[in-house]
Structure 1
Amino acid sequence: MIYNDASLSFEVTSRTKTNIHTNIQYSTRDIGTAKITFKLAKDGDPLPISNATHGKLFMRMADGSEFYVNMEVGDALGGVLFYVLTDDQIRHSGTVMAELYVSYDNGQSLSVHKFSFEIDKALIDANIAPLAEYYIEDFEDLKADINKTTDEINQTLNEIKAKFNEFENIETKAGAQEKANAAEANAKAYTDLHTVKTDNPHKVTKAQVGLANVDNVKQAAKTDFDTHVADNVRHTTADERTKWNGSQLVKITNDIGNVLVSIGDTDDFYTKITQSGRRFGTFYSTGKAANAASTNSTRGFFHMTATDSNGLGTFGYVIAVDWQNNMFTNYLDLNSGWQGWRRVLTSSDLSPAWNNVTLINGATQDTNRPFKFSVSNNVLMLRGSFGTLPAIGTSVAKFTNKPTQLVDFVVPTIGSYGTARFALTTDGDLRYDGMAANDSASVSRVSFNIGIPLW
């Protein structure tokens, strides 16, 4: 693809964010090519873009039109986002005021910077031809307009012609009076003749005259009744009635096909399910509900097979799927209660993808055994090597996957041998804490092959 690309670099900071008047200028003819690329940094380093990070761009056009759109990721590790203006947006010429935001799934949001750019109206889009009432983009449009104008002229001529025809048919007052007098004379002669007739000119019968004395109701013939009784399409048979009476009588959705049970932020998942009693049903739950399967919203089904004296479910199971296609199961037993959520592992969990670790603060990759990471089933796995250790207490890498508490561990070293001490902090920093006791600090590289739980 070919783009008219403009690049802006922004630092995410709490310092004064004055509006930046950029020298970016597009044309209203930059259709599908007007691209703005943003390079975001935090504390001097690229701002990592994860699946939980969302770039948003707000634009107020010169004519007052407003657009609030989602950005696309250009380089997740390099903090690069971009947006290509749509065909409708690029036609709003003039100065565009814009502001860039970054939001996260946990509810946090950052205002990165305000800026402005120009959309210049191309000559082909400008109203510079005072003799032309309409904008004609190509010959076919011109041809269509000419044909339309011709049809309108012909219609007007036909209407004028019809008016002249009406004028030709207009007669004088005297002529109209003469015709009216003749019509009146003819009508009177016909009426006088009809009045003196006594031979029943309309052929009225006695039956017609006596209809008011009887019920004018048509009775169906016996054959019609017999046909109706034998019609099994209109009547329910005994077998059909038995089948319908024995069918499933408990709904699994609401009346319009949505979920049967809705579980909100302030609800308890277990309570809402058991309150449904003995049944098979569907549900929706937010990720904030107590005892929810996931911090993401989930949908699924449940089956309670028994109830207590209060009508609450006592035995059954639940299957939930969140919007990231992760599946969870849970089981309720009267004696031991809910067994707890278990996530169903997929092939991608069992065979995760490995990614190169971005090293910082002077740490260097080992080209033959690159330092890589993978995340599977809430475990951060590290393998490979790097050399040139930084000063003690310095971070060598930054991960977006963070443990809930500090994790200390050691890894072997190559060179003078020994072990090096590391820690993964709750901020996601992989910190070098020095060599183990009595080990040499002179090493050529360190070797990782470890899994770190993140719960």
Structure 2
Amino acid sequence: MYKTGSVSFDINAGRSNGRTTNIQFMTQDTGSAKLSFSFVKDGVPLPLSALDAKIVLLYADGSFYKKSLTLIDKVNGTAEYILSDEELTHYGTVKAEIKLYYTNGQSLVTSFFTFSIAKTLEDQNIVPTADYYIDDFETLRDGVTQTVKEISQTVGELREKFADLEAVETKKGSQEKADAVQANLDKHSKDKSNPHGVTKAQIGLSAVTNDVQAKKEDFDKHTSDTSNPHKVTAAQVGLDKVDNIKQADYYAFRQHDNNGERHTSKVEKDKWNAGQLFKLTEDNGLAKYLSGADFNTVTDTGLYYMSSVTTALNAPVNNNGYLFVHNYGTYAYQEYTSYSSSDSTSSGRRKFMRNKISGSDSWTSWREFESVEGAQSKVDVHADKTDIHVTKTEKDKWNGGQMTKLTKDDGKRTQLVNETDVLALSSGYYYANGTSVKNNPVVNDSSWFNYDVIEGDSGRKSIIAWRSHDNTLWHTTVHTDGVFKGWKRLITNNDFENPVWQNITLKNGATVGTRTPIYAKSGSLLLLRGHVRVDAEIIFGSIPVEYTPIGGAVVSVALSGTGGTANLIVYDDGDLKIKYPTPLDSNRLDGFYIDVSVPLQTGGTAT
């Protein structure tokens, strides 16, 4: 699928200032933005053989591309170019021209044209960078040459700058000055006379006294003294609650530690930790009892017996019963069963459910569970409705009906997929574009066609095809064992009563007389009308080949301005010529009346 913009060129030497087209692509038309070109010279298509076609594009941000065109039809002069995804990012107005390089050394350049690329909403913030792409070697070589010139110029400028370095001080002079500075620095660093007057406060020693410290042997003796010379108490070291008695030895401790009756194991603790930690009932297993409670406030998971129940407290009915609550965070769910001592259907024993809406204080409405008795009564009522149920007679009638679908479920025709063979269709109603199917009545016709197909036995079938836009109809049959009998077009009264008249193309100096020369086709006849002024023995006009009889024709036509006749020759290539005029008075001859009909021969010539 492509978004195509078409541009045509008339190759001549006429002056042109370029042209602005209405072609616009979007920055998201990736892989589908196509430019289609057609070339004409002297009124006929320009052949594109023995040449290389290039497109030159200059984008709004200065990006430059020169790339090859794809030649689609070299005989009829058509080509195309698909913009790359990178090129689509260079939005704005684009200037372009086409260059045709022939293998014999000649070249042609078209006038430039413009088109535009617009940004989509999601591409409003893209900032394109300038790109330069040339797939032509000669142009690339010119660019390289220019780059070499720029490099040469830069080298010259560097040489001029390095010439100024002669005025810089020599290495020897710099070394002598550095040695002198190092000598002064060494002398100053060895000076211990405190030449800068630094105080002990300035270096963080203001609290240090200038006294003699204890000797190392005195310090070691004090640290090894275990007689508690400082009289430290148990309370001072946090041992005031410790009894000064003998502790159990290792073996007694191990015996106690291994006592499995007094101590628990990891397996037991893991089991207990994984158990249910929230009570669903009372400790005795009975339901939790609530009286006069608002049902909206009962959200903890559990089983409850609800007393003094009313709908004013958001209960489903005015009847005591059992409430079962499931809760997962804010997703509370309630089931309520009303209590009754009776087993009858009309008693108050009913069951309901609802849930709380997450993230709010609202609840859904109560929904009642259907009982077996209630469901059966509804089924019985439903079963008695004969207006919505079918009988065996009705089913037998429908089962004996047409079982093959001829249309889609909505009653519309079925669209055919590409490459479907019309002759292979089963019974049904179909439609398709004429160029997308095989064996269409008209080859390469992009109109919409409708197809009605009815199959018979032994491979036989009949097919009717309608061209939708002009209501033209064809029919065919596929005979026994699949033999195709060809398409036949149905001729209507419109073909005879309303022929389409068109002007004859005059040439070689022929002019219109009192009536414009025209032609039309009616059934198997070529109709000619009009008055033409022309000399005899020259081709004075032409009509399309499909309007001419096989082998041509010769008919008599009347002269104007005088009596007499002449021969009108209709050549099978469509050319028209007047021959052998026999006027009664040649001085008064004023042209020829071509009001004639010519039989059209079809099906070949006789043998």
Q: TM-score, normalised by structure 1?
A: 0.47
User: Higher relative CO (CA 8 A, sep ≥ 6), structure 1 or 2?
Assistant: 1
Kindly name which structure, 1 or 2, has the bigger radius of gyration based on alpha carbons: 2
Larger strand share, 1 or 2: 1
